Structure 1
């Protein structure tokens, strides 16, 4: 596999915080978030990867909803 070239850029602090928050929320690396954003800007995104990321987030939300429902039952008891 060929090595990908490295591209670097400085961003405002609030952008970095948003990138970090998105990475944490989606369970992905910051580099993946930045690559996806650049891909969107350049019109180079793989629709399959975007759909996969959405499906993964939907699964995580469903799991959290189940956990919260269980906590709600414990609180009422």
Structure 2
């Protein structure tokens, strides 16, 4: 996205912390989280971003299922 224009904005500390937490949890950069949020607001969802988010969620679910199965708990 190097050829894209840069946009800046100040946000409340709490928003920045939430953005950072989302980025860490999803394994993405903060800029990706912010671009996705703006795209949703503008009604322009990038299919590639949706696929990436789904893949990330599927991986996280798989990890959790393996952890639960390893601990002897039922997954259902």
- TM-score grouping bracket, smaller chain normalisation: 0.7 to 0.9
| Structural RMSD (CA) | 1.8
- What residue is the counterpart of 1:4 in the other structure? 4
TM-score, normalisation: structure 2: 0.79
Stretches (4+) displaced over 3 A:
none
The equivalent residue for 2:25 is 25
Unaligned runs of 5+ in 1: none
Task: Tell me how far apart the structure 1 counterparts of residues 18 and 2 of structure 2 sit (CA, whole Å).
Answer: 30
Unaligned runs of 5+ in 2: none
Q: Normalization by structure 1: what TM-score?
A: 0.78
Number of aligned positions between the proteins: 72
User: Could you say which structure has the larger radius of gyration?
Assistant: 1
Cross-structure match for 1:45:
45
